[in-house]
Amino acid sequence: MKFAEKIKALFRRNKLSEETFEDLADLLIEGDMGAALAFEIVDSLKAACKKEGISDPDAAKAKLKELLRPYIKTATFELDPGKLNIVLILGVNGVGKTTSCAKLAQWAGRQYPGNNVILAAGDTFRAAAIDQLKIHGERLGIRVVAQQHGSDPGAVLWDAIDAAAAAGAQLVIADTAGRMHTRSDLVKELAKLDRVVSQRADQANYRKLLVLDATTGQNAMRQAETFHEAVKVDGVIMTKYDSTSKGGMIIAVSRQFGLPTLFLGTGEKYENLQPFNIDAYLEDFVGE
Ligand SMILES: Nc1nc2c(ncn2[C@@H]2O[C@H](COP(=O)(O)OP(=O)(O)OP(=O)(O)O)[C@@H](O)[C@H]2O)c(=O)[nH]1
Ligand SMILES: [Mg+2]
């Protein structure tokens, strides 16, 4: 059953009772929202229903949506036309970083026609990573700046920034190696790369997007915490949203770290990247 269907079924009961609220808390936890946040939301729903005399389950569901909305920070991905825009794509292993680089490059190319995009093969750690990005670049007709396997990712970024300046490109999207948030040495390396890019391109519009896999559940909170602490992340790309009907993590990450989700990855194709839309999201999560 789709997650929203479960919420719907819950509010299809004849009347609101203590049990409805308890079951709702369980469901929100199951939806990856985390226990503390789930109870907080259920408590405020209960209070609002009492205060406003809401006894109709449908009205309570509408109220739930209304209460969830301010928890979700939103932001749009926009290029600064007067600057070089740099996007560093980060995350743990296998979450969909490289695929997201390619998807974002295509999306930005369409959104800003005539703008040159450069992909930077900043994952120099995994042998096949450079080729993987090059293949995406060939398919999409987008230039990929790369060095050899094992080279310094900071140097690749320098090259890409130089190439962008020379070509008048407005956007550099850089892949990075997957690193587990539990590996503090690798997280430190990322912080170093971040410093290198900040110094090299201090006039640029430089952003860091953390890729989180929607099927990871609460572990994504640990990932967000570590990466945000290390490099101050600007936003999230939530991938594999097509593989789960739950998405409570988007609310949890927003609430806990103030991080907006900018895009949803909704499949393996280049087209499967959608700018985050709060109305559509709430409809997915709670139902219409
Ligand atoms: N269903 C689905 N699959 C996705 C999505 N995004 C990425 N994938 C798949 O996830 C797998 C891993 O994607 P990659 O882009 O290689 O992940 P990565 O984070 O770069 O992996 P490493 O570089 O090894 O850390 C691939 O099979 C992708 O096709 C998505 O939004 N939905
Ligand atoms: Mg990769």
The DSSP string of 109-165 is HHHSTT--EEEE----SSTTHHHHHHHHHHHHT-EEE---TTS-HHHHHHHHHHHHH
- Which residue's CA lies nearest to atom 14 of ligand 1? 96
- Which residue's CA lies nearest to atom 7 of ligand 1? 96
- In angstroms, the CA 102 to CA 104 distance is 5
The answer to whether 246 and 80 are in contact (CB under 8 A) is no
Per-residue pLDDT of the chain (288 residues; tens, 9 = 90+): 678 888 988 988 878 899 999 999 999 999 999 999 999 999 999 999 999 999 999 999 999 999 999 999 999 999 999 999 999 999 999 999 999 999 999 999 999 987 789 999 999 999 899 999 999 999 999 999 999 999 999 999 999 999 999 999 999 999 999 999 899 999 999 999 999 999 998 899 999 999 999 999 889 999 999 999 999 999 999 999 998 868 899 999 999 999 999 999 999 999 999 999 999 999 989 987
- In angstroms, the CA 41 to CA 241 distance is 23
Answer CATH for 85-276 from 3.30.70.100, 3.40.50.720, 3.40.50.620, 3.40.50.300: 3.40.50.300
The answer to whether 90 and 190 are in contact (CB under 8 A) is yes
- The per-residue pLDDT for 114 is 76
- The per-residue pLDDT for 1 is 66
Nearest atom (ligand 1) to Cα of 91: 19
**Residue 199 DSSP SS3:** helix
Domain ranges of the chain: 3-71, 85-276
- In angstroms, the CA 80 to CA 71 distance is 27
- In angstroms, the CA 18 to CA 16 distance is 7
**Cβ–Cβ contacts within 10 Å for residue 56, how many?**
15
- In angstroms, the CA 191 to CA 66 distance is 38
The answer to whether 206 and 193 are in contact (CB under 8 A) is no
Q: Which of 241, 244, 268, 273 to mutate to test the pocket of ligand 1 (most atoms within 8 A of CB)?
A: 268
* Angle (nearest 5°) at CA 242 between 216 and 174: 70
Residues 6+ apart with CB under 8 A from 246: 3, 30, 31, 32, 214
Domain 3-71, CATH class in plain words: mainly alpha
Give the residues surrounding ligand 1 with Cβ less than 6 Å away.
91, 93-99, 123, 126, 129, 178, 239-240, 242-243, 265-268, 272
- In angstroms, the CA 63 to CA 168 distance is 49
- The per-residue pLDDT for 15 is 84
Which residues lie near ion ligand 2 (Cβ < 5 Å)?
97-98
- The per-residue pLDDT for 120 is 98
Residues 6+ apart with CB under 8 A from 22: none
